[in-house]
Homo-oligomer: A and B are copies of this chain.
Amino acid sequence: MSEQHPVLKYISAGAWSLVEPLISPRASDLLTALTSFMENDVLPAEKLFHAQIPSYPPEARWASIPPVLENLKIKAKKLGLWNLWLSGGDFQGMAGGEGGGLSNLEYALMAEIMGHSAILAPQATNCSAPDTGNMEVLARYGTPEQKQKYLVPLLKGEIRSSFSMTEYGVASSDATNLRNTTALPDSSNKALRVNGHKWWITGAGDPRNIIHIVLAVTDPNNPSPHKRHSLVLVDPRAKGVKIVRPLTVFGYDDAPEGHCEVVYDNVEIDVDSGVVGGRQGLGRGFEIIQARLGPGRIHHCMRTIGIASRALDILLQRVSDPNRRTFGKHLREHGTVLADIAHSRAEIDQARLLVLAAARRIDIAGAKGAMQDIGIAKFTVPSMALKVIDRAMQVHGAEGVSEDTPLAYYYASLRTLRYADGPDEVHIRQIGKNELKGVDKLRERTNKIKKESDRLMKENGKSKAKL
């Protein structure tokens, strides 16, 4: 193992020792390039990025993209740090599809590193949600025309997109509840009319956004509740689309991307061009969102570990700041601070390994075969990161909740991950149920062991044992 690989600035030696044999030379080079890009370009650009977003009036916050971001994108492309998330084969032939081809395990390491600048790095490298998931949907299920119109510019980082699923006023964690947005034929029967009230539509505030992928009921009377929906494509500039407001997360609006409340009021779309997959895509909404969510969940987890890592870096620097002594000691000398550090490191290390194992499992068995590993990561990682960030806030005193550190913003952002793509509780319940699926085999084995145990006892003339 190379003890000098720059990745070791971000990843623990234990984890690296385990995965290094599985990392290709190209990925290893990209990792090296990425660490340089982060330190030389992305992290130094963070402050300017925020400075280039106007404070007010409100309209201005959503009207433009900080120029520094475009500079980063140009540089990233040049370095080959583009579309790194693209592991599959469907895209490779397409214009803009270069850059991918990494294994999920390889990408996991990169995503964690990008998480150290979680707002900027994913956008700079065209690896940010919800675009990545939307590209997957279009690549796998889109018609050739849809690919040309939306996938190509997305791959090139020229436009942005939204995934429009959560319905206003509906318990959306159970997707079968999503019944109020429809895309039904109008009287002419030539077009579909999209009607619905959605919210938490990430990226809908972005001026570059030209496409919402909307989950809508197209076949309300289908006996199977899982075959009633389709994904339809709505241009947010079309007549009938109303961006009601950007929602805030804690007090942050995440401009210029935003998480918006959106009303679709009788928006006209064409079946062939406006349903993902065209006519063949009708009724396949649930199938497609299932496929979309798996890897997306793990991408979030990967980045989240990077965010937690950065929070711990910030904590470490604060508690060892020579100018900060309390009660005659440096902060770092207080026993509880050392315990906070040790627990944070232990939790980060464990979570990273969990995510790496899940990524590797996707590489081997596909997202479906990795469901258990993905699900465990999904409910474990955000809570872990919140704990680490909270400790980092606490050692900063009031500064920790202010805009003078990124910690409170991190906290707010990650708090949403405990709901996004399904709340923790749903994943926890599902994992619990999955574990129980193997119980019959387990009981069979136990019974066989018990039978042999009883035989041995009898053979040796014993009837009872006491521990």
Categorize the interface residue count of chain A. Answer: 35 or more
Could you say which residues of chain B place their CB within 8 Å of the CB of A442? Answer: 313, 316-317
Q: Is the interface of A mostly helix, strand, loop or mixed?
A: helix
Contact call B14/A357, Cβ cutoff below 8 A: yes
Contact call A357/B48, Cβ cutoff below 8 A: no
Could you say which residues of chain B place their CB within 8 Å of the CB of A430? Answer: 342
Question: Does chain B have a CB within 8 A of A98?
Answer: no
**Bound state CA distance, A18 and B16, in angstroms?**
12
Question: Does chain B have a CB within 8 A of A284?
Answer: no
Could you say which residues of chain B place their CB within 8 Å of the CB of A174? Answer: 325-327
Question: Does chain B have a CB within 8 A of A292?
Answer: no
Could you say which residues of chain B place their CB within 8 Å of the CB of A252? Answer: 250-251, 467
**Bound state CA distance, A174 and B323, in angstroms?**
13
**Bound state CA distance, A51 and B460, in angstroms?**
9
- Chain B residue with the shortest CB-CB distance to A66: B460
Between A369, A411, A425, the greatest number of chain B beta carbons within 10 A of the residue's beta carbon is seen for: A425
**Bound state CA distance, A354 and B350, in angstroms?**
6
**Bound state CA distance, A439 and B450, in angstroms?**
50
Contact call B17/A338, Cβ cutoff below 8 A: no
- Chain B residue with the shortest CB-CB distance to A431: B342
Contact call A200/B350, Cβ cutoff below 8 A: no
Contact call B373/A467, Cβ cutoff below 8 A: no
A342-B431, A398-B416 known; A439 and B320 CB under 8 Å? yes
**Bound state CA distance, A281 and B333, in angstroms?**
36
**Bound state CA distance, A91 and B353, in angstroms?**
33
Could you say which residues of chain B place their CB within 8 Å of the CB of A340? Answer: 432
Q: CB-CB contacts of A425-442 with B at 8 A, as 1s and 0s? A: 111111111011011001
Question: Does chain B have a CB within 8 A of A394?
Answer: yes
Contact call A466/B55, Cβ cutoff below 8 A: yes
A48-B462, A361-B13, A423-B394 known; A376 and B342 CB under 8 Å? yes
Could you say which residues of chain B place their CB within 8 Å of the CB of A251? Answer: 248-253, 403, 408-409, 412, 467
**Bound state CA distance, A357 and B380, in angstroms?**
19
Contact call B435/A342, Cβ cutoff below 8 A: yes
A324-B171, A453-B45 known; A379 and B21 CB under 8 Å? no
Contact call B250/A338, Cβ cutoff below 8 A: no
Question: Does chain B have a CB within 8 A of A4?
Answer: no
Question: Does chain B have a CB within 8 A of A33?
Answer: no
List CB contacts (< 8 Å) of A321-367 with chain B: 323-327, 331-332, 334-343, 345-346, 349-351, 353-354, 356-358, 360-361, 363-365
Contact call A357/B353, Cβ cutoff below 8 A: yes
**Bound state CA distance, A331 and B173, in angstroms?**
11
Question: Does chain B have a CB within 8 A of A15?
Answer: yes
Could you say which residues of chain B place their CB within 8 Å of the CB of A325? Answer: 171, 174, 177
**Bound state CA distance, A429 and B199, in angstroms?**
33
Contact call B248/A453, Cβ cutoff below 8 A: no
Choose the segment among A36-44, A125-133, A265-273 that binds chain B (4+ C-beta atoms closer than 8 Å). Answer: A36-44
- Rounded to whole Å, the gap between the CB of A278 and the closest CB of chain B is 32
**Bound state CA distance, A39 and B358, in angstroms?**
29
Question: Does chain B have a CB within 8 A of A402?
Answer: yes
Contact call A343/B428, Cβ cutoff below 8 A: yes
The interface of chain A, by Cβ under 8 A from chain B, is: 1, 3, 9, 12-15, 17-19, 21-22, 39-40, 43-52, 55-58, 68, 166, 169-174, 177, 199-200, 247-253, 259, 313, 316-317, 319-320, 323-327, 331-332, 334-343, 345-346, 349-351, 353-354, 356-358, 360-361, 363-365, 369-370, 372-373, 376, 379-380, 393-394, 397-398, 400-404, 406, 408-409, 411-412, 415-416, 418-420, 423-433, 435-436, 438-439, 442-443, 445-446, 448-450, 452-453, 455-457, 460, 462, 464-467
Q: What would be 7 A-B contacts, judged by CB atoms less than 8 Å apart? A: A12-B373, A13-B369, A52-B462, A56-B56, A57-B57, A350-B351, A353-B357
Q: Can you name 9 extra interface pairs (CB under 8 A) apart from A14-B354, A342-B435?
A: A18-B357, A43-B453, A47-B457, A55-B466, A171-B323, A177-B325, A335-B338, A339-B428, A342-B431
